[in-house]
Amino acid sequence: MAESSGKVCLITGATSGIGAAAALAAARSGGTVVIVGRKERKCIQQVSKIRRTVPGAHADYLVADLSSRQQVRDLASQFIARYPRLDILINNAGAYFGKRELSVDGLEMNFALNHMAYFLLTNLLLGRLNEAPSGRIVVVSSGAHANGKIDYEDLQTERDYSLGKAYARSKLANVLFTYALARRLENTHVTVNALHPGLVATNLGSNNSWLRTKLRNLLKRQMLTPEAGAKTIVFLALSEEVKNVSGKYYYECKAIPSSKDSYNEADQERLWQMSERLAGLVH
């Protein structure tokens, strides 16, 4: 793991689970870690934990509900106003929803939080990343992306909604986004890679029915710890080994093939253009 003194790392979804574990690891490497969460109380608790665990750590927080387009914009503006540089952006915040719910912008929530938040925040912060000597973007996807299909005529899953379908679709969108962005970042000092963290014992899905949550809790004994699940995130964010690697999909700190559908460049570009419009980046 490279020493990151002087660098600034922004990580979303960092008040618990693999995000919190990755933030702690980044703090240990030096530099400044800025965590993002929905609730200020949890952000304060996590920053305090980082400072207790890593004496002298530079840790800060910003509060945002990333399912809201306006709050993503506000987050980016606050970060840019507060920090003159950004070296590492870790897009990690995510959830899944047992019943179909809509964001404040009228988007299906898996799509809004798991894909659109990544897409918009990254685009808003690309200027800062391009100014860094060596910028890195880490996109936390999932092995579930292999079961995903993008229906461009029903992007918001209005027909035949199911948790599995909507979640897998959003995770496939992560990988399509990563590959499309990597092409746009060729000949720059910024890299982007996606990853599958493994089956991790976290609070993901705790917003769903008591039965699903109970079953998940029973399975936790067979799952990875958050620290183990964060290893590939930390590897992509900090390892010298991948300093110049971009446009790859990783699992257990190794580049592996993603699903066949994820390599379809026409789909990558179609999703990018639709996401631009939904994010309000083009009209």
Q: How many helices and strands in the chain, by DSSP H and E?
A: 10, 8
Q: Which of 42, 35, 28, 39 is nearest to 12 (CA)?
A: 35
Q: Compute φ and ψ for 17, nearest 5 degrees.
A: 60, -145
Q: Which two tokens stand for residue 135?
A: 């910028």
Are the beta carbons of 12 and 115 closer than 8 angstroms?
no
Q: Which amino acid is at 214?
A: K
Annotated active-site residue 118? The verdict is: no
Contacts made by residues 73-77, CB under 8 angstroms, sequence distance 24+: 73/120, 73/124, 75/36, 75/121, 76/121, 76/124, 76/125
Catalytic residue among 61, 96, 118, 167: 167
Point out the residues that are catalytic: 167
